[in-house]
Amino acid sequence: MEDLSNRVAVVTGAGSGIGAGIARACAERGMHVVLADIEGDAAESVAAELVASGATAHAVRTDVSRAEEVEALAEESFDRFGRVDLLCNNAGVAQGGTLHELRPEDWQWTLGVNLYGVIHGCRAFVPRWLERGDRAHVVNTASVGGFLSGPVLGMYSTSKFAVVAYTEALAQELAERGIGASVLCPGWTNTNLGKASRNRPSDLGTAPDGLEIITPGMAEGMDPVEVGRHVLRGVRENALYIFTHPEFAPLIAERFEKVLAALERGKEPPA
């Protein structure tokens, strides 16, 4: 999708951080933007800023972990603009904690937003595009944590590895049908992710956290609008992977080298 102007983007998690950055980058390029967020007021306020700058923007309160709310978001977006060209499944949360201690309700929340948010988004928008014969593009937000894992953030990385795998398969399924798919894998970005528990449903109880380990990296992180500009370059180039932080290359290379070495070892009889 080379010419973005006057096209319609739907961005989830657009009330803050990277989602707001993607929405601002879309407006810079002359796109019309639907901003979805569980924090309806935050989405409204970013939408108002975009409208004041001359863009067309519309906010919709949406909990992406609920299929019916994402379906309603798709319906409202198509009704209002008559088309959607770009879907950014970006809403996400993070929770720290050791894997053997995290409870089913912790997994339910993290996977509910980070993975099911992507699944619900694609289930709501892709069939509409296919039915209408539209060309379109999906960007799913993972993280460098979709290629790297470590202690304390294991649950987060599990959700992001899944988003990488989902998007790799999605891109292959839809390539011949005029729909592109990219996975966004940012590193440290200056957002409110360290305060993600603000949106944890209260009926799930208190979150055991440990998330403070990400706060210093994020405070010095990239400006989210810069991440948004990388996203739009990836959309224009139909790139499967959108990386924004090349300084993670040695760590990711080290992981793949370990995998390749293990594959080599598999050539030797195990006796």
Catalytic residues: 156
Choice from 186, 228, 235, 243 touching ligand NAD (CB under 6 A): 186
Q: Which residues inside 115-144 make contact with ligand NAD, applying CB under 6 A?
A: 141, 143
Kind and range of the H or E run holding 48: helix 40-52
For residue 72, CA distances in Å to 39, 61, 62, 63 come to 16, 10, 8, 10
34 binds ligand NAD (CB under 6 A): no
228 binds ligand NAD (CB under 6 A): no
Choice from 81, 125, 129, 188 touching ligand NAD (CB under 6 A): 188
Choice from 97, 221, 228, 234 touching ligand NAD (CB under 6 A): 221
Whose CA is closest to 79, among 6, 11, 128, 150? Answer: 128
Choice from 15, 96, 180, 234 touching ligand NAD (CB under 6 A): 15
Whose CA is closest to 29, among 65, 60, 5, 62? Answer: 5
95 binds ligand NAD (CB under 6 A): no
92 binds ligand NAD (CB under 6 A): yes
Nearest 5°: phi and psi at 206? -75, 145
90 binds ligand NAD (CB under 6 A): yes
Is 68 or 260 the residue whose CB approaches ligand NAD more closely?
68
Choice from 93, 136, 164, 235 touching ligand NAD (CB under 6 A): 93
- Interface region with ligand NAD, contact rule CB under 6 A, candidates 1-9, 63-71, 96-104, 124-132: 63-71
| Contact call for residues 123 and 44 (beta carbons, < 8 A) | no
Choice from 158, 167, 182, 191 touching ligand NAD (CB under 6 A): 191
Is 134 or 226 the residue whose CB approaches ligand NAD more closely?
226
Is 8 or 12 the residue whose CB approaches ligand NAD more closely?
12
Query: How far apart (Å, rounded) are the C-alpha atoms in residues 256 and 188?
Result: 21
Is 34 or 196 the residue whose CB approaches ligand NAD more closely?
196
243 binds ligand NAD (CB under 6 A): no
| Contact call for residues 159 and 108 (beta carbons, < 8 A) | no
Sign of the C-alpha dihedral computed for residues 263, 268, 269 and 271 taken in this order: negative
Q: Which residues inside 145-164 make contact with ligand NAD, applying CB under 6 A?
A: none
List the beta bridge partners of residue 222: 189
49 binds ligand NAD (CB under 6 A): no
Q: How many CA atoms lie within 13 A of 52 on its CB side?
A: 6
Task: Please write down the long-range contacts of 192-196, taking CB distance under 8 Å and 24 or more positions apart.
Answer: 192/16, 192/17, 193/17, 193/92, 193/93, 193/94, 193/218, 194/94, 194/218, 196/92, 196/93, 196/94, 196/95
| Residues at the interface with ligand NAD (CB under 6 A) | 12-13, 15-19, 37-39, 42, 62-65, 90-94, 113, 141, 143, 186, 188-189, 191-193, 196, 199, 218, 221
